[in-house]
Chains A and B, each alone.
Chain A
Amino acid sequence: MNSKVMDIKKIEVWDGNMAASQAFRQADVDVVAAYPITPSTPVVENYATFEANGYIDGEFVMVESEHAAMSACVGAAAAGGRVATATSSQGFALMVEVLYQAAGMRLPIVLAQVNRALAAPLNVNGDHSDMYLGRDSGWINVSTFSPQEVYDLTLCAFKIGEHLDVRLPVNINQDGFMSSHTAQNVRTLDDKTACDFIGPYQAVNAMLDFSKPVTHGVQTEEDWHFEHKAKQHDAMMRSRKVIDEVFAEFKALTGREYKAVESYGMEDAEVAIVAFGTTYETAKIVVDNLKKEGIKAGIISPRIFRPFPLEDIAAQLQHVKAIACMDRSAPGGSVGALYNEIAGALFNSPARPVLSNIIYGLGGRDMTVSTLTEIYKDLVKEAASGKLNGTIQRFVGVRGPELTYYNA
């Protein structure tokens, strides 16, 4: 725990950025190396303010780019410290090379990623193209829907990534502006409780352990590369057990429950959407409205994007007749990633729902209650007829002629 304790209220009004900064502070991070970028800038600014006011015992490193930020994080983590950073969009794109290094070197760095569209055209608002960019990088990827969840899951991220059975970096995603700049009530833990929950940092193969001189970042070629990637994938797949355990421990401490797959209204759902981020919260309102009309609607959202909870999702969708997989990222010449994931999860199961792919919300375009209601009403028609209304993929909320692709 940092030597200077911050007096915070049981309920604070924080936006998602402040929630991430406070979680970093309470985690007593040894090194934060960061290069601020909208909309994650306040994560770094807040943390720098804490540091300036004496609340941070660790180091805060100013760097000249996001590539340098993640490189400094890799160095500090290999040296044997707890490390965190924050970024968005273009900054995340610049980090990508080093993200793979961090994961391959098995360094449990925590990244507060505030999701924002990738240029061009340049855009500071939220979509999931940056989250999708990192999905194969070997980081545990967590999706959050609100500042409360950002706070809770950032604390959990340290505990999950640093677990000796895991030792992988963790990316906590939140929607740019919708979560990062929307101040809401956040139930907090006091500094000691939060720090004790995470526990002390355990260094593994630390470069600063001079009694065991070690080389990190080695070259392997065809002799051992495959074995190391196999070991890394196995750690990722087995991290699911640790994730479930940490969520259970967090629930016991706070009463707040997190699951690998979050769902709402799915008990009797005949139509469902699958979506990441703040869309989940909007959809909950729509689901409540539709249930009053007698429409059995539901929403599910992978809380954990990686390791992908394939079996859990398949199980939850067995009795659904029509599903819309909603991707908030330009699909670049195919169906969206979520459509592929859900189709893949269901293919070896008995369920054969009508499955469509909706591209929405690019560059921060709002997903409203009325648009979601229309999407659900289309799903009701598809559930009744047992076939798609039109093509597999369609764009929703874009101006101009209808944009549809792929015949079933």
Chain B
Amino acid sequence: MSKSIKDMGWDELVQGAALFSFEGEVDYEMSQVQPEDRNYAETNSRNAYVGDWRVEKPVFNKDFCIDCQFCWIYCPDTSIIARDKKMIGVDMDHCKGCGICVEVCPTNPKSLLMFNENTDNEEALEQWPEKSEEKGE
């Protein structure tokens, strides 16, 4: 679409409010293109910022991460960013702060912890807990 949907009148919208995910035809293998390189349409939900839905945010501590990819698999909003099976961080534009990534993180201490949305990340890392002696949790 050459014109932004924000500038469209009723006569220009796609009938039935159908929304296309990508610009143009998909005549290539989408799985081979990284999300940041995909030609997402303006109306794709990837272009919608929903970071302000969060009350608590996950903070990632790479010092303890073993790249097990549990958080990547379990995240319901594909907001865990990984490359070559290595955890890189969290997509804060789309993470809604559900905390599932923290729940499933198996390391001791956890590599992801929930903090108040307003807590500074450096401050959060300074407060990181020590290894727990208790087995299982």
Contacts and interface: CB of A to CB of B under 8 A. Distances in A.
Interface in A198-218: 204-205, 210-216, 218
A213 B26 contact: yes
Given A211-B27, A212-B26, A105 B17 contact: yes
B136 interface: no
Interface in B17-65: 17-22, 25-27
Contact of A234 (B10, B16, B19): B10
Interface string B67-107: 00000000000000000000000000000000000000000
A212 B20 contact: yes
Interface residues of B, number: 18
Q: Is the interface of B mostly helix, strand, loop or mixed?
A: loop
A269 interface: no
A215 B9 contact: no
Contacts of B13: 224, 227-228, 231
A99 to B, nearest CB: 14
Interface of A: 104-107, 167, 204-205, 210-216, 218, 220, 224, 226-228, 230-232, 234-235
B21 A205 contact: no
Contact of B21 (A105, A107, A215, A230): A215
A192 to B, nearest CB: 31
Contact of A220 (B11, B17, B20): B17
B83 to A, nearest CB: 24
Q: Which 10 A-B pairs have the closest CB atoms?
A: A106-B16, A227-B10, A230-B10, A213-B21, A205-B18, A105-B16, A215-B19, A231-B10, A106-B15, A211-B25
Interface string B1-19: 0000100111101111111
A104 B14 CA distance: 12
Contacts of A218: 17-19
B5 to A, nearest CB: 8
A239 B42 CA distance: 31
A205 B26 contact: no
26 contacts: A104-B17, A105-B16, A105-B17, A105-B18, A106-B15, A205-B15, A205-B16, A205-B20, A211-B27, A212-B26, A213-B20, A213-B22, A213-B26, A214-B18, A214-B20, A214-B21, A218-B19, A224-B5, A224-B13, A227-B10, A228-B10, A231-B10, A231-B11, A231-B13, A231-B15, A235-B15
A204 B8 CA distance: 20
Nearest to A220: B17
Given A106-B16, A220-B17, A210 B26 contact: yes
